Amino acid sequence: MSLAIITGASRGLGLALARALAERRWGLVIDARGSTALQRAARELGAITEVVAISGDVSDDSHRRALVAAAGDEVDLLVNNASILGPSPQPALADYPLDALERVYEVNVTAPIALAQLVLPRMPDGAAIINVTSDAAVEPYEGWGGYGSSKAALEQLSAILAAEQPALRVYAADPGDMRTQLHQEAFPGEDISDRPPPEDSIPGLLALIEGRLPSGRYRAPELGTRNAGGVPA
């Protein structure tokens, strides 16, 4: 049984991916900050496959170590999905509280690489790391200075990690616009029902997990039209 660690898996993209992998009989170690939603997800997934659910904050070193310990000796996939937006409504950089900015970077940048450092010794050749990013990492949207710059930093870390770990596949995966809680926080009070559900991004992520694409940055909506080898279907 292949084993995946997925952070932020109690809802949204993380839960949608966990469901897809559970259906493929992957073993799962999942986390989220909210224990109630996480346990609900664990009960659902546990009816299909083996699941360990540990609530906590990915920025906490002891929590990260607990996730890796629960995974056992071999980890085939790490998905760094957990992230935070920062203040909502989002402030301009000129007014961005520096303590809030530090928190965004702690969760969105430092935590993923810290978890990867713990997981790397347990990853066999060909294993994969997926760092979930955003178009805000490459497009200078007003008001997205905290979140966007943190994802830009995560993408550069992903690229360097890929260069340093040629036996692994390291991806920065942009799922595109989604109808999620984080996206709603970015647009408080607005109707985001026109955004696609997270499930629409799953075929693209599965193309990375199950395929042979080289390390790099990919947009999940585009990959969803390709086969497992990365060739347009």
pLDDT tens digits, residue range 116-125?
999 999 999 9
How big is the CA angle at 191 (ends 187 and 197), to the nearest 5 degrees? 90
| Banded model confidence at residue 179, pLDDT cuts 50, 70, 90 | confident
Cis peptide bond N-terminal to 89, omega within 30 = yes
Task: Check residue 187 and give its pLDDT.
Answer: 72
**Average model confidence (pLDDT) for the chain?**
93
Length of the chain: 233
| Sequence-ordered list of residues with C-beta below 8 angstroms from that of 120, at least 6 positions apart, any chain | 165, 168
Task: Check residue 233 and give its pLDDT.
Answer: 35
**If you classify domain 3-223 with CATH, what class do you get?**
alpha beta
* Nearest-angstrom CA–CA distance, 147 and 143: 9
Task: Provide the Cα torsion 166, 19, 172, 206; round to 10°.
Answer: 60
Task: Check residue 227 and give its pLDDT.
Answer: 46
| Banded model confidence at residue 62, pLDDT cuts 50, 70, 90 | very high
| pLDDT tens-digit series, residues 78-96 | 999 999 999 999 999 999 9
| Banded model confidence at residue 149, pLDDT cuts 50, 70, 90 | very high
Say if CB 69 and CB 31 are below 8 A apart. no
Q: Is the pLDDT of residue 141 over 70?
A: yes
Say if CB 222 and CB 204 are below 8 A apart. yes
**Residue 4, strand partner residues:** 28, 77
Maximal CA-CA distance, the chain: 50
Delimit the domains of the chain by residue range: 3-223
